[in-house]
Chain A
Amino acid sequence: MKQMAIISGKGGTGKTTVAAAFVELADQMIVADCDVEAPNLHLVLDHKVKTETEYIGNQMARINTALCTQCSRCEEVCRYDAVTQKVQQEEGRQGGTVFPSIDAKRCEGCAACVYACPTQAIGLYPEATGKVFLSETNVGDFAHAELYLAADGSGKLVAEVRRLARDEARRQNKAVLIDGSPGIGCVVISTITGCQQVLVVTEPSQSGKHDLERVLKVTGHFRIPTQVVINKWDINTEISQEIEAVCLQSGVSIIGKIPFDPMVPKAIAMGHPITRYESPAAGALREIWAKISSELRGA
C-alpha cells in the first residue's frame, strides 16, 4: 500500500486545491486530511460521515488536594511552568489554603510531577483531544478529524487519521492521499513519516522559496522521495526560476507548474474541486496527476 502526502512549508500555497483536484481525478484512493488544526478538504468534497470516534490523544496531570502537603516539589520539577497556585476556600473558615494547580494549556503530560510528589497526590488522566471521522465520498473513503479547542497533541491526532486511512486502504487495496499542513514541525513530520512520496506545493515568492528550502531539508532528513509543484508560477517568473534552481540543487524534480487562474477561487467558493471546470489550472493539474498516478501505481 502506497501513501503520498501533500505539504508546502508555507501556508496558503494551494495544498488543498491540489489535493481536491487529485481526489476527483483518482479512482482508487483513500483520502486523509491531516491538517487537523485548520482542515479544509471537507469543504470541497461532498461527503457523508460514516463513523465518528472520540480520540483520547493526551494525558494530563491532576492534583488531589486532599493528599497535597503543599511542598511545591511539583512546581520545582515542572519544566513547562504548568504548576500554578490556586487558593482553595475551606468551609467555615476565613481565607483559604494555597494549593498547587495544573494549567491545562501548559501541561504536557510528562509525569515529572507525578513521580516527584512525595505523597502520591498527583495522577495522570486521559484527555480527549479531538474527533476522528471516516466519511464516504463518491470517489472513495475519506478520513478526517476535528481538534478540540485548545487541545494539545495535534501530531498524535494526525497519526490517528493516518491509521484510519491506512486500515481502509489495506482492506480495499488502495493507495492513500494525504492533505498536510504548513510548517516543518511535529505535525508535518507525523504526516510524512512512512510515506513513499511527498509532493511539496510552493509559490513563487521569497517566502515560498525560503520555506520550500526548509521543507526540502526535512524530507531529505527523513529520506522521503520528494517532488515539487509551483503553483501560480507565472505571478513572478523570476522567482519561479530561482525555485527551479533550488530544486535542481537539492536533487528534487519539479513535476509541474500551475498557472495563476481566477477560476480557482471561484471553484472553491462553490465548494468544488477546480478539475470540475475547463480552465488553465485544471489542465495543468490533470497533467501533473497523470504523471503522479503512473508513479504511484508503478514503483
Chain B
Amino acid sequence: MRLAVLSGKGGTGKTTVAVNLALSWAPYRKTTYIDYDVEEPNGFIFLRPQIRNSSTVFLPYPEINGACTLCGKCSEACQYHALAVVGGQVMVFPELCHGCGTCGIVCPVEAVDEVERPLGEIDEGERDGVQCLQGVLKEGESLAGPVIRGLRRREKERSSQVEEVIVADCPPGSSCSVIHSAEGSDLAILVTEPTLFGLHDLRIAVGLMREMGLDIGVIQNKDDGGSLIREYCIQEGITLLGSIPFDLEIAGIYSRGQSLTQEPKWAELFKTLGERIMTEVTQRKNRGKTA
C-alpha cells in the first residue's frame, strides 16, 4: 500500500502527519517512510534514524573529446543551451545541462563522452521499526527531478513481496516534483489548514490529484473548530479523514523536532487516524473490485 502525503501550500503539516502515521503503524505492519521533499527534507529531523547506507545521485553531462570537428550540431540540438561553439572550441555549461543525452545522439563523430557530477544524495536507515529513506538535493543545484527519480527507483528496488505501507512525504507546490512523488499511490492524503491560503492551495492540489486519477482524502491540521475545510470537503464530495487540533503543545513538540507519538494523547490521535486511513483504502479497493 502506497500513501502520498501532500498539501499544495507549504508548512501545513505534511511531515508531521507522514512521520507520526508511520510511527503509529510500525508496531503492527512493515512500514517505510520516504521523504520526497528533496529540496527541504525534514522527516529525518523527527525520525532520527540510524543511517545504514548513503549513496550519491549523479547527473551525466557531456565532455567533448579530440574527435570534435566543431560542426555545432550538439549546440544546435541542446534545448537547455548547455553547449556553445565559441572561439574554436565547444564550451559546456554543466549547471544548465539536464543530462538528457541529446548532444551524444546528434554528434556525427562520437566526440561526446559523458561524465557525471553529484546532484544529491539518498540516505537509508531505520528507527523504531520504521524503514526510512530520504533524498537530499545539493544546495545550489536546481534539478530536483533526477534526485526524486533516483529515490523512486530505490523505492522500487527494495520493495519485496511482503505487504508493506509506504508513506511518501511529498514536496509542496503543484509541479512535476509533486506528480513524480505521488503517482502510483493508493491514496493521496492532502494535509491542509483552515485559512484562505490553505483552502486556495488545497483546491489546486485536489485538481492535480484528480487530473492524475488518484483517490483523495483530506486531513485538517491546526483545526480551529471552524467550518471552512469541512464545508469544502462536503461540497466536493471528498472524505475528511480526520483533524489535528490547533494546539500550542503540538507546536512546541514540533518546534523541538520531536515526534508527537511520544505523548499518549497524540499517539492515540494518530493511531485512530491511521486505522481510519487503512479502513478507507481497503474499502475503496474492495469497491473497485466489485465495481
- Residues of A in contact with B (beta carbons under 8 Å apart): 8-13, 16, 37-38, 40, 43-44, 59, 77, 79-80, 105, 108-112, 115-116, 147, 149-150, 152, 154-155, 181-190, 203-208, 210-211, 214, 217-218, 221-222, 235-236, 239, 265, 268-269, 271
Contact = CB atoms under 8 A, between A and B. Distances in A.
Contact of A108 (B42, B100, B172): B100
A49 B106 CA distance: 45
Contact of A185 (B42, B77, B137): B137
Contact of A110 (B102, B140, B141): B102
B257 to A, nearest CB: 3
Contacts of B201: 38, 40
B113 interface: no
Nearest to A154: B175
Given A115-B106, A207-B257, A182 B195 contact: no
Given A11-B10, A12-B10, A207 B45 contact: yes
7 contacts: A11-B12, A38-B173, A149-B174, A150-B208, A182-B172, A208-B255, A217-B139
Interface string B6-46: 00111110010000000000000000000000111010010
Contact of B102 (A112, A155, A236): A112
Nearest to B196: A43
Contact of B42 (A40, A112, A204, A207): A207
B79 A43 contact: no
B167 interface: no
B139 A12 contact: no
B259 to A, nearest CB: 12
Contacts of A115: 77, 102, 105-106
A77 B142 contact: no
B143 A185 contact: yes
B179 A210 contact: no
Interface residues of B, number: 55
A150 B257 contact: no
Contacts of A116: 105
A218 B140 contact: yes
B209 to A, nearest CB: 10
Given A38-B201, A184-B137, A13 B11 contact: yes
B265 interface: no
A4 B176 CA distance: 27
B255 A236 contact: yes
Instruction: List the 9 closest pairs (A to B, CB-CB), nearest first.
Output: A11-B10, A12-B11, A206-B257, A37-B173, A110-B100, A221-B140, A183-B39, A217-B139, A182-B10
B197 A150 contact: no
B98 interface: yes
B196 A182 contact: no
A16 B195 CA distance: 13
A11 B9 contact: yes
A11 B143 contact: no
B143 A210 contact: no
A181 B98 contact: no
A214 B174 contact: no
Given A108-B98, A111-B77, A149-B208, 6 more contacts: A79-B100, A183-B173, A205-B257, A207-B254, A265-B195, A268-B195
B287 interface: no
Contacts of B9: 11-12, 38, 40
Nearest to B12: A12
Contacts of A189: 142
Contacts of B102: 110-112, 115
Contact of B171 (A183, A239, A271): A183
A230 to B, nearest CB: 12
A109 B174 CA distance: 19
Interface string B58-87: 000000000000000000010110000000
Contacts of A59: 79
Listed residue (B105, B201, B204) with the most chain A CB atoms within 10 angstroms of its CB: B105
B216 interface: no
A37 B174 contact: yes
Contacts of A154: 173, 175
